Structure 1
Amino acid sequence: MQLYNKLSAKERAELIDKAGKDRLTISFYQYHKIENPQIFRDHLFIEWDKLDVLGRIYVSYEGINAQLSVPAENFKQFKAHLDSIDFLKDVRLNIAVEQDNKSFLKLKIKVRNKIVADGLNDDTFDVTDIGVHLNAEEFNNMLADPNTVCVDMRNHYESEIGHFDGAVTPDVDTFRDSLDIIEEDLKDNKEDKNLLMYCTGGIRCEKASAYYKHKGFKNVFQLEGGIINYVRQVESQELENKFKGKNFVFDHRRAERISDDVVSNCHQCGEPCDTHVNCDNEACHLLFIQCESCSEKMNTCCSEDCKEIAALSFEEQKALRKGKGNSNKIFKKGRSEALKFKK
């Protein structure tokens, strides 16, 4: 039985266009002890492939982390399948604020050591002793409390284009990098300040809140469902939106517009801009912020060198890449020295 994709992203995109049916972009996670992640992974692939689910899903011994899209007409069947799995029954589903039928173009379900790369030894602390979950209204109230320190648990390229008012936004490349930095910065306020955390969908805060409680923080709180769920509640309950800018997402959309504020700038000219692109030189593929003017001038490349390479034929570019590994720039989003106005 086929348990992997055979269609290319281009072929899948053409099929989606031909079908002409709306799809829903959804994310969810659940920490749970899974005895055999590989068997569970194969079961999900078989069932979800039938429903034309596409996305990026990680399964491990500690649970599942899923970002996916499903045809709207198949949503009830998809939800019924989730509810048939004990630990996923009534799991909170974060529905994307902005829908795009091509947010995902393949179904990738991978077995990983962890569902989030946190670099922590879970045996050293109680991962179930988490912080207090807050809804949008409670989050806004605590955010306004002068005794609160609000921390963005996302990476620099995520918080750069959007964040909550007054939030601390660590300049880090990975989730693991932020944990020790935050602890060091707040070491003198472990008992007298409210540590209020948020992330995209809530999964990073789930682990971080338990870690910080283990490290001696007394008042630990987290935004339930992350930014995605917050925006839904703000709209449905007509609350004040405290999030400014865009919410970075890990699919082909790259971001969702949450407010009209543009809080970042083009990495090449410095003009206000919050549009992420990938360098058109496939050997670079650097993620960075680029305005329309610079995109036209630079042919969607991050540097003159990359612009020259991207202008070559496919075969010429392939020959240049032969025998070389991926550039480290791919993993250092927005960190290239060629970018004059990077964060």
Structure 2
Amino acid sequence: MQLYNKLSAEERRELIREAGKERLTISFYQYARIGNPQLFRNHLFVAFDTQEVLGRIYVAHEGINAQLSIPADRFDEFKEFLDGIYFLENVRLNIAREHDNESFLKLKVKVRNKIVADGLEDETFDVTNKGVHVDATKFNELIADPDTILVDMRNHYESEIGHFENAWTPDVDTFRDSLDIIEEEIKEHKKDKKLVMYCTGGIRCEKASAYYKHRGFEDVYQLEGGIIEYHRQVTEQGLENKFRGKNFVFDHRLSEKISDEVISNCHQCGNPCDTHTNCANEACHLLFIQCEDCKSRYENTCSTECHEIIQLPYEEQKALRAGKYNSNNIFKKGRSEKLKFKEHKVD
């Protein structure tokens, strides 16, 4: 029985184009106690492969986190399958506002230690004892209250291109980095302030809300469904949109527009820009913001050095990225001294 992806991204792209079907980009998560994640993972892979689902799904003892793409005409079948799993019945599905049939090109279902890496070893922490979920209307009311502390639970490269008005956007690389930093900054307000958090789809701030309740914060809230669901609600209900810029997403689109405002700059020339890309030098693959002019000038690379490397024959490029220490430089998220117009965290 096939329990892993056999097709390359290019082969899958060609099949999608030949099929000519509209696909939906969807994300969902659920914290739950899963006794045998590997068995559950195999069950998901067989079902999703049959349903032509593509995407990235993580399974752990603490639950499931999924970002995926499905044929629009198989949505009901997909929903019925999820509803047949007791802890996923009627799970909230965040459907992207901007669709791309090629948002995902492979099916990857992986077992992880946790669906959100947090670095915590506290056995008394109960991730299901979460804060109060609020919709867009209540969220707008809360963040207008001067006794509210609004925290962005995402990483620096996400909040750089878009965030809510008056939100604190910690300059962190990972979720685990943020937990202690945030607590240290606002620990004096455990009893006298409302702590309101948001993230892309809700999964990180749900864990964070449970953690801060565990640490003694008394009035803890999270935006239900994250920025994705907020955007849907303000659009459909005609509410005031308090989000500025774009929402970073973890698929080939990299972002979707929430407002028309551009709040970030090209990391190479400094002109207004909010389009992320990955450096075309495979030995770098740095995620950074690049405008169309710089994209043309540097041929989608982050620096003069990387631009020179992609001119080399393929075998020479391959040799440059060989070895353990060279590979450590790959897949960094917007931290490089080569980027003139990117602020760098000081350790």
Q: TM-score range by the shorter chain?
A: over 0.9
- Quote the Cα distance in structure 1 between the aligned partners of 2:93 and 2:79: 9
- Quote the Cα distance in structure 1 between the aligned partners of 2:137 and 2:329: 40
Aligned to 2:178: 178
Aligned to 1:164: 164
- Quote the Cα distance in structure 1 between the aligned partners of 2:103 and 2:126: 35
| CA displacement at 1:16 relative to structure 2 | 0.5
* Equivalent position amino acid for 2:45 in 1: F
| CA displacement at 1:128 relative to structure 2 | 2.1
Aligned to 2:213: 213
- Quote the Cα distance in structure 2 between the aligned partners of 1:202 and 1:280: 31
Aligned to 1:336: 336
- Quote the Cα distance in structure 2 between the aligned partners of 1:331 and 1:217: 35
The 5 A counterparts of 1:65-144 are 65-144=65-144
1:158-196 CA-partner distances (Å, limit 9, x unpaired): 000000000000000000111111111111111111111
Aligned to 1:62: 62
- Give the secondary-structure state (helix, strand or coil) at the position aligned to 2:27: strand
Aligned to 2:189: 189
- Give the secondary-structure state (helix, strand or coil) at the position aligned to 2:183: helix
| CA displacement at 1:123 relative to structure 2 | 1.2
Contact kept in structure 2, 1:36 and 1:61, CA below 8 Å: yes
Unaligned regions of 5+ residues in structure 2, if any? none
- Quote the Cα distance in structure 2 between the aligned partners of 1:83 and 1:129: 23
1:58-110 CA-partner distances (Å, limit 9, x unpaired): 00111100000000011110000001111111000000011000000000000
* Equivalent position amino acid for 1:187 in 2: K
- Give the secondary-structure state (helix, strand or coil) at the position aligned to 1:123: coil
Contact kept in structure 2, 1:173 and 1:332, CA below 8 Å: no
Aligned to 1:43: 43
| CA displacement at 1:325 relative to structure 2 | 4.5
Superposition RMSD in Å: 1.1
What TM-score comes out, normalization by structure 2 length? 0.97
- Quote the Cα distance in structure 1 between the aligned partners of 2:329 and 2:146: 39
- Quote the Cα distance in structure 1 between the aligned partners of 2:236 and 2:307: 45
Aligned to 1:310: 310
What TM-score comes out, normalization by structure 1 length? 0.98
- Give the secondary-structure state (helix, strand or coil) at the position aligned to 2:140: helix
Contact kept in structure 1, 2:284 and 2:331, CA below 8 Å: no
- Give the secondary-structure state (helix, strand or coil) at the position aligned to 1:210: helix
Contact kept in structure 2, 1:329 and 1:335, CA below 8 Å: no
Contact kept in structure 1, 2:134 and 2:222, CA below 8 Å: yes
1:112-163 CA-partner distances (Å, limit 9, x unpaired): 0000111112513232221111000000000111111100000000000000
Runs ≥4 in structure 1, deviation > 3 angstroms? 324-332
- Quote the Cα distance in structure 1 between the aligned partners of 2:105 and 2:146: 45
- Give the secondary-structure state (helix, strand or coil) at the position aligned to 1:186: helix
- Quote the Cα distance in structure 2 between the aligned partners of 1:271 and 1:306: 21
* Equivalent position amino acid for 1:66 in 2: A
1:193-241 CA-partner distances (Å, limit 9, x unpaired): 1111000000001110111111111111100010001111111111011
- Give the secondary-structure state (helix, strand or coil) at the position aligned to 1:330: coil
- Give the secondary-structure state (helix, strand or coil) at the position aligned to 1:182: helix
* Equivalent position amino acid for 2:282 in 1: E
Aligned to 1:301: 301
Contact kept in structure 1, 2:320 and 2:326, CA below 8 Å: no
- Quote the Cα distance in structure 1 between the aligned partners of 2:114 and 2:187: 28
1:220-277 CA-partner distances (Å, limit 9, x unpaired): 1100010001111111111011111000000000000111000100111111100001
- Quote the Cα distance in structure 2 between the aligned partners of 1:330 and 1:126: 35
Contact kept in structure 1, 2:209 and 2:222, CA below 8 Å: yes
1:288-322 CA-partner distances (Å, limit 9, x unpaired): 00111111111111111111111112122112223
Contact kept in structure 2, 1:329 and 1:336, CA below 8 Å: no
Aligned to 1:146: 146
* Equivalent position amino acid for 1:103 in 2: S
| CA displacement at 1:327 relative to structure 2 | 4.1
The 5 A counterparts of 1:220-259 are 220-259=220-259
- Quote the Cα distance in structure 1 between the aligned partners of 2:226 and 2:305: 39
How many pairs does the alignment contain?
343
- Quote the Cα distance in structure 2 between the aligned partners of 1:17 and 1:64: 30
Q: Which moved more, 1:271-280 or 1:114-123?
A: 114-123
Aligned to 1:276: 276
* Equivalent position amino acid for 2:24 in 1: L
| Pair 1:101–1:122, CA change in 2 (3 A) | farther
Q: Which moved more, 1:281-290 or 1:323-332?
A: 323-332
| Pair 1:199–1:326, CA change in 2 (3 A) | farther
Contact kept in structure 2, 1:287 and 1:330, CA below 8 Å: no
* Equivalent position amino acid for 1:107 in 2: L
Contact kept in structure 2, 1:28 and 1:91, CA below 8 Å: yes
| CA displacement at 1:326 relative to structure 2 | 4.8
Contact kept in structure 2, 1:153 and 1:199, CA below 8 Å: yes
Q: Which moved more, 1:13-22 or 1:126-135?
A: 126-135
